Structure formats: C-alpha cells, structure tokens
Structure 1
C-alpha cells in the first residue's frame, strides 16, 4: 500500500479552494462555490502550464457566453437548445485550440441555463466568479518549490559516477582488473533521467526563461553516457595489455580527476592529440592479439574525442 502523503500541489489546491470560495461568498456572488471548481481546474504542475490553463478557460468561457446569448436569448432556454449549443461548442473550442477549457466553460454555461435569463447582472456575476477562480489559481501557483539544491545534488552524483567509471577503465588498462560490476552506469542513467525532468520543471516555472543551463548540462552528460556505454565493451575486452594501454590510462586518469561542470574540453582535446602522436610513434604490433588490442585502444581514443567534443559545445555552469 502506498504511503499516505500530502503533496505540495495538493496543499496549494486546498488553499486555493478555500480562498476562492471565501472571496466569492463575501463578494456576494451567486454560485460562489463554482469559483472553487475554476481554481481546481487551473492549478497545474508549473507556472507556464497554469497560465496556459487560464488562457484556454477564459477564451472557452467567452465563446460559450456568446453562444448562450445567441441561442438561449434568440430561441429558448430548452434542453434541446442546450444540446445544440454543446454540439456547436466543442468543435469551436477544438478549432481555437482551447478544448481544455470545455469543463470550465460548461460550469458558466449551466449557470446561465439555470437562471434562464441572460441579464447584465448575471454577466457581471459570472465574470466575478471567473476573475476570482482564475486569479486565485494563478496566485497560489506562482509559489513553486526551489529545486536548485536537488538539481545540484544530481549534478554531483552524475559527476561522481563518471569518475568511478573512468577510474575502473584505468584499473583495467593498467592491470587487467575486470571485477567492476558497472553499477555506476545504471545509477548515472537513472540520475540523469530524474535530473532532466526536474531541470525541465525549472524552465516551466520561470515565465521569461526559454532554456535552462542545467537541462542543457544534463542533456550533454546523457549524450556522453551513450558514448561511454558504446565504448566500454571495446576497451574492457582487450586480448592483451599492451604498451599503449598505460599511455591511454594516464590520460583517462587525468580526465577522471577533473570531471566538473566547467568547460575545459578544449584543453583535454589538445592533450588527446598528444596521446595520438605518442601512440603513433610506438612500435607496431607483432602478433594478431597485439594488433587487436592497439586497434581497440585507438577506437577508444577516437570515441573519447567525440565525448570531449560534446562537452566543448557546452559553455559550462561555472
């Protein structure tokens, strides 16, 4: 059984409902309880989604008011006319791309139908309910939790996983140690998924921000992880440990000791060029296994250059 808990959004919804009903009641509005329904429908997971929810519902409600005035006042307050109105309303909302506002507009529509007389005072009443319901929803939804500390924790976890992964590669290249179980690969992938989702929420909760450095950072790390996963089988299944293994191990150890969110990729690509030159000046393979080992290491070097190129395009968090 899932543990009982009250989430932040649930708390905001409860507060919003209480405020909407209270304000509507003391404002002397009819159908004041409906303001709570409008508030509930507009409290979303992010600020941008909440704004969009209010937009769709306002547009949908004005559309339904116009239709109600034309059909009810022009023909009759009859169930058949109500059905015809709904028949026309839904396609119109879909065409205007505000179909999400149907339920809210239906609330206002039923008020008009129940009263049976589209008067100025009724219009003012419904506009008041809308203003309070949507206004309270926006007010409570502007208060979002700050996820910066958790996002930074995810960043540090991913970087630590990468350090371990590279350190294990170094251990294999230097002494053939293949005892590592690869747990950090799984942990890094899981952490990146959670981190990207949280970073995306941060973008959605900043109304003037179109991108997020953290999201870009985690996306970059995710693409690097794909390279690591692709290259690991090639470098950890060498038939023999050759002279070039130590050269590559030194470079990877240096890289492992300096994993951070800043951008020093260009420096390490220059170091990798030096490794390539030294690699090329070493003795040629004398047997098939040595040839395969050297070929595997050279492929690994090329993959690491792509790994660094991905980071080089990221301006860094520091």
Structure 2
C-alpha cells in the first residue's frame, strides 16, 4: 500500500486544524478539519485560487443564509430556497469551488438557529484556521523535474528506435520490428504535458514551462515520424540516394536530445536535396517512384528539423539564453 505526499499533508493538516480549533474553544471545531481537507489541492496556484473562492463563498453563503433564515425561519424549505439562490450566484461569480464549504457554514447557522457576534467570530475563526492550514500544507510541493526528465529520456529513446528502424527499412527493405514505440510515444507525451502543466501551477510567478514546450515540439515531430514509417516501408529496392539518406538518418538518430543540433542536420538535408537535383534522371518508373518518395521523405525530415530549430529559438528567448 502506497501513501502519497498529498494524503500525508491532508492527514497532518486536518488534525492540526481540529487541534487549533479545539484549543481556541471554538464551536464546530471538526469543521475546520473539513475545510482543510477541501483546501489541499494538487498545485500551489490551484490551492490559492480555491482558498479565496471558498472564503468568499462562505461569507456570501453566510450573509444570504442570515437574510433568508431571518425572513423565512429555520426550516428545511428555507434550505431548499437558499441552495437554489446560492448555486447560480456562486457560478455567476466564478467561485463555485466554494459551494461545499459554504454549505458547511450554513448548516452551522441552521443548527444553532441563533445569530450573534460570537457566532460570526466563531465561523470566521473556523474558516481562517481550516483554509489557512490548507494553504500552509500546500507550501511544499515535490519537484517534478526528475519525473519530467524521465519522460524526456523515454520519448527520446523511442524516437531513436523509430529512426533506427527506418534505417533498417532503407537498407534491407524488411524488419521484424513490432512498432510498439509508435503506440507508446503519444501516451508518454500526453502524460508528460499534463505533468508539465502541473509543474507550472506549482510555481506562483511562472507562466510558461520549458518542458511543456519541449513535449509539444516532440509531439509535432512524432506526427511526422508516423507518416514517414509507411512511406519508407513501401520501398522495394535500393537506390544510391536511399543509402545516403540511411546514413544521414542513422547519424541523426544518435543525436536525439534537447540540445541545439538541428542546424547541423539541416545543412546535410539541403546537401542531399542538391545531390538529388544533380543526379541523372531515373531510368524506370519504379526508380522514379522510389526517388520521388525519398525526396518527399527529405522534405518531411526538413520539416522535422525546422520544428526543433524553431523550438530552440523560442526556448532561448523564453529562458533568456543565447543560442550556441
């Protein structure tokens, strides 16, 4: 059985909230623990946003309850009317996250059936302790850098395998590859992008994330690789250009990483395209089709490298670094 850090924080925060509320002699002390449970979120930004939403929704619910209970009395029907009015109001103000917490405070009012300064002081103290401890627990968030780097390494490893298999197709026109990397890679990229978004929300003053842009770049490149596999697998025999492209692709597969190497391989692509233009015309239809497919493949590889080059430029500007 595995206990996550969020479970531990929730347990510590809840018990601490109830302890403080009881130590201060507050009524409904256990409710402070409930508010803390609701306040412990996955990220820091979400925690702060929800804490403010819950606090204002509690105050709004308390004031609305005070008005309706005063005029209609403390009856279940009043609760019905109160909720019908409260929910649309919270949604309109975009603080609907605080609906449950506001209900907790409202039920305190319904239970006591008495409005006084002491009651308001008690409820404000309960809200402050419950929400405050929840925010305190969310100060610590474990670093996701290690996990994101693991995703990066796995995606790059899959890219290498796919390219190596393309090299095998180009040289041998057959392969025993099962292609599972083509199915696994988009799942890895989607999971990594979600984690990268969560990483941004754990930094209060960060609006962009290097890893998110990196995996978005790899996602665009992967779509091109998906199209290249069936294209290369249809080539039936070798031509001289195919051997050169295989050597190029073999070299490229050994240099798949986050560094700036795209410009080097773009030069090689352009040289290969010039070689195509200077080669004698094909002597058969089969050779023409193969060379046409290979030229199209080079164009796709050029797009593949340009995506990386654009990412390097954009990331360098974001990080405030010069391109090596």
TM superposition score normalised by structure 1: 0.93
The answer to whether the aligner puts 1:306 opposite 2:303 as a matched pair is yes
The structure 1 residue matched to 2:133, chosen from 115, 129, 136, is: 136
Q: Which residue of 2 aligns with 1:231?
A: 228
Rounded to whole Å, the distance in 2 between the matches of 1:292 and 1:305 is 20
Q: Provide the C-alpha distance between the structure 2 equivalents of 1:77 and 1:264, rounded to a whole number of angstroms.
A: 72
CA distance in 2, matches of 1:139, 1:80: 38
Does the 8 Å CA contact 1:158/1:188 hold for their aligned counterparts? Answer: yes
Q: Which 4+ residue blocks in structure 1 deviate beyond 4 angstroms?
A: none
Deviates more, 1:78-87 or 1:15-24: 78-87
- Uncovered stretches (5+) of structure 2, i.e. residues with no partner: 317-323
**Equivalent residue, structure 2, for 1:252:** 249
The yes-or-no answer on 1:181 pairing with 2:178 is: yes
**Structure 1: 5+ residue stretches without partners:** none
Match of 1:146 among 143, 146, 151: 143
Aligned to 1:33: 30
Deviations 1:29-76 (A, max 9, x none): 111100011111111222222222212211211111211222233553
Partner of 2:120: 123
Distance 2:30 2:4 in 1: 24
TM-score normalised by the chain length of structure 2: 0.92
Contact 2:167 2:250 in 1 (8 A): yes
| Structure-1 residue corresponding to 2:204 | 207
Query: Aligned partners of 1:186 and 1:85: how far apart in 2?
Result: 51
User: Considering only aligned residues, what root-mean-square deviation do their CA atoms show, in Å?
Assistant: 1.8
Task: Tell me how far apart the structure 2 counterparts of residues 204 and 252 of structure 1 sit (CA, whole Å).
Answer: 38
Please tell me whether residue 159 in structure 1 is matched to residue 156 in structure 2.
Answer: yes
CA distance in 2, matches of 1:185, 1:92: 48
Flag the 1:177–1:85 CA change in 2: closer, same or farther, 3 A: closer
1:243 to 234, 240, 253: 240
Matched residue, 2:320: none
Separation in structure 2 between the aligned mates of residue 190 and residue 94 of structure 1, nearest angstrom:
34
Give the structure 1 partner of residue 319 of structure 2. Answer: none
Which residue is 2:5 aligned to?
A: 8
Pick one of 243, 256, 274 that aligns with 2:271: 274
Q: Is the 8 A contact 2:53 2:96 kept in 1?
A: yes
The partner residue of 2:284 within 283, 287, 292 is 287
Count, aligned residues = 315
Displacement of 1:82 after TM fit? 3.3
Partners of 1:129 and 1:313 lie apart in 2 by: 52
